[in-house]
A and B are shown apart, each in its own frame.
Chain A
Amino acid sequence: MKVFQTIIAVVLGALLIYAEADFPAWASSKSPANAGELSQYYIKNIYDETLVPNMVTAVLADYRGYDTLFETVVVFTAGLAIFAILGTGVMREKKTAVPAPKRIYSEPPFDLIVRISTRMLVPVIQLFALYVLAHGHHSPGGGFQGGVILAASFIMLELSSDLRAEAAKLTHRMSIWLGIIGIVIYAGWGTLSLFFGGHFLDYDMLQALFPLDPLMARSHSMLIVEVGVAFTVSSIMLLIFRQLVSGGYSIPDKQA
C-alpha cells in the first residue's frame, strides 16, 4: 500500500514539475496574471470606480463579492455542521444543568500572571481587530482578518481563565445568531440592490439610500459587507472552538 501511495505522490510531483517548466518567470511583470487584461484593468480602474485604495479588498468585496459571500457561507456552514454533528442540538440552555463529562473542560491551572496580562491585552487586541476591519480599505485587512483576531481575543480570554464562566457569557445560541446576522447583513445588502433594480450585489444601485455620490456608496457598501463577514467569522470561530473543546455539550451553569 505504501509503495502504491509513494508512486502516486511521485507521479503527481513529476506532473507538477513538468508543468513548471512552462511557467512564466517568477514575479515577472509580463506574466499573464500581471500583464493580463484583467489585472491591468483592476490596477488602472479600481480607485476610480470604487474610491478604495486597497485593490485586494476592492476585488474581494465588490468585483468578486459573490465569491466572498459564499466564502462566508462556507465558514458559517462549517460552524453549523460542527454544531449539528457534535452538539446535542439543545439551543436553549435549560436552567437545570447538563452535567459535562470529566475529561472535557480541562481546567487550566490558575496562574495569576497569565490571567492578569491576558485581561489587559484583550481589549487592545479587540480594538486592533476592529481597526483591521475598518481600515481594510486602505491597508491589508478586512472582514476575515478582523473577525479572526476578534475571535482569537475571546479564545485567549477563555483559555486563560475559567473557561466555563467565560463561555457562559456567550452561549451557543448567541454564536449562531451572530453568525446568521453576519450573513444576513451581507446577503441582505446584496438583495437590497435587487429591490432597487440592479443585479444582486450591485452596490451602484444603493446610491438611492446614501445621499453620497455613487462611488462613495460603493466604498461604504464594502465596509458594511465586511462588517457582516466579521460578525460571521468571529462568532463561528468561537463556536467551533467551543464545540471542539466541549465535545458538543452545552455549557452547564456554574453551580453544576
Chain B
Amino acid sequence: MENMQSNLPLIACLISLGAVLPICLFGEKRRNLREASTILAGILKLSVVCMMVPLIAGGKVLNFTFIEIVPGIELAFKVDRFGIIFALVASSLWIVTSIYSIGYMRGLHEHAQTRFYAFFAVALSTTLGVAFAGNLLTLYVFYELLSMSTWPLVTHHQDKEAREGGRKYLTYLLGTSVGFLLPAMIFCYLKSGGNSLDFSQNGFVSSFVNEPTVAIVLLLLFVFGFAKAGLMPFHSWLPGAMVAPTPVSALLHAVAVVKVGVFCIIRVFTGVFGIEFLQELDIGQIVSYIAAFTVVVSSLIALSQDNLKRRLAFSTIGQLSYIILGISLLNVYGITGSMTHIAMHAFGKITLFFCAGAIFEATGKKYISEMVGIGKRMPITMIAFFIGAMSVIGLPFAGGFWSKFYLVWGTIANEQPVLLITFLASSLLNGAYFFPIVFKAFFCKPEESLFEDKIEEAHPAAVIALSITAIGTVMLFIFPNPLFDLAKAAATQFLS
C-alpha cells in the first residue's frame, strides 16, 4: 500500500458543489439547463471517481490534505479501496437518481425543484467527503454537513407531516452525533495524546485503552453515535424521513445517508479500533447481537406496514443491520460481505424505491393494499420491483445473493449458529413481506384487480431510471468479481 498525493478526491468531492451555482442560476425558468447541469455534474463526478479506481485497485492510497484544523489533525482525504467502493456506488447512483428525479418531480409538478436539485448536489458532495475521509474528524465534519444538507430535502413538501418528519430526523441525527459521537471523538483525541485520529491499520484506540469495559462503552458510543446506520433504538428517523419525495428516499435513504452511517461504523471498526484489537478483547459480539435484534425486529415490523415506503424503510433498517452484523463478525467473509452488501443493497433498494415512487406518480397509490393487480398496468415497474426484492432477499439472479452468501459464510466461519439462524430467518421474513406485493400485483383474478387492463407506466425518465438500476442489480449478479475482488482485498488489508 503506497501513499500518493492527488487532487482527484478533492475534485470529485467538489464537482457537485460546483454544480450548485448553475443549478441555482438556471432555476425554474430554464429547467432543462438546470437538469442538464445536474446530470453533467454527475457524469463528471463518476468519471473522476473512475479515474481513481485503477490507481486504488493497484494498491495505492490517494491522499489530499487541506489544513490543520485542530492541533495534530488535518482535514484530509485518504482514499482506499473501501472508500472508492462507496464513492462508486454513490456517484453512479446519483446520475440514475437525477434521471429519475426529472421524471418524478416533473410528473408530479412538484414545487421548489431548484432547491431540491441544489441541496441534492450538496448532499452528494458531503457523501463523497465521508467516503474519502482520512481521519475521524474529517469524517465527523462531513457527516454533520450531510445531516444539514439533507434536512431541506426531507422537509421538501413543507406540510405538517414533513415538519414532523424533519424534526424527528434532526433530533435523532443531531442528538446522537453531538451527544455520543462528539464526546467520544474528543475523548479519543485527548487520550491518544492529541496526535491524530487517522484511520490506521490497527486503529489508534489500542494505544490508550486496555480494559474491555472502556472499549465497549467507547465502541457503543461510536456505533450509536452514527445513528444514520439505523441501529435500534435510534432508528425511528428512517421511517419518519419517508415523508420526503421518493427520489430523496431512494438516493439518500437507500444509498447516501444510511450507507454513510454503516460506512462510518465499518471505518470505526477497522480504522479506529482495528479488527485485531476488537478480536483480542472479543467485543464484537455485543454489536452483533444489537444488530441481530434490529434485523429481526425490523423485519417483523415491516410485515405489519401497509404503506409501501414505510415497509421499504423498515426493510432498509434490517439490511443495514446485516451490514453491521457482517462487520462485527470480524472475519474476512463477514467484512467482505458487509462491504459488498453496501453496493448490492444500494442497487436493490434504490430499484424498489424507484418503483414505489413510480407507482405513486402514475397512480397516486401509496398503500400496498391498493396495489392489487398493478402488474398489469405497470409491468416494467413491477418486474423491476421483483428484481430489487430478490436482491434484498438474497436470491440468485440478483446481486444481493452474493453478498448475503458471504455474510452467511461469515457466520459459519465464526461458528455462531444464532447469527446464522438470524440471517436465514430474516431472509424468510424478507420474502414474506416482499413476495405478496409482487404476487398480488401480477397474479390476481381479473375481478380483484383495481386497475384497468391497459399499460400506463410512469413518466419515461422514471421508468428508464428504474430499469437501469434493475439491470444493474442483475449485472452485479452476473459479474460480481470486480466488486468482490476490490472488497476482499480491502478486507484482507484490514485484517492483516
In the complex, are there CB atoms of A and B closer than 8 Å? no
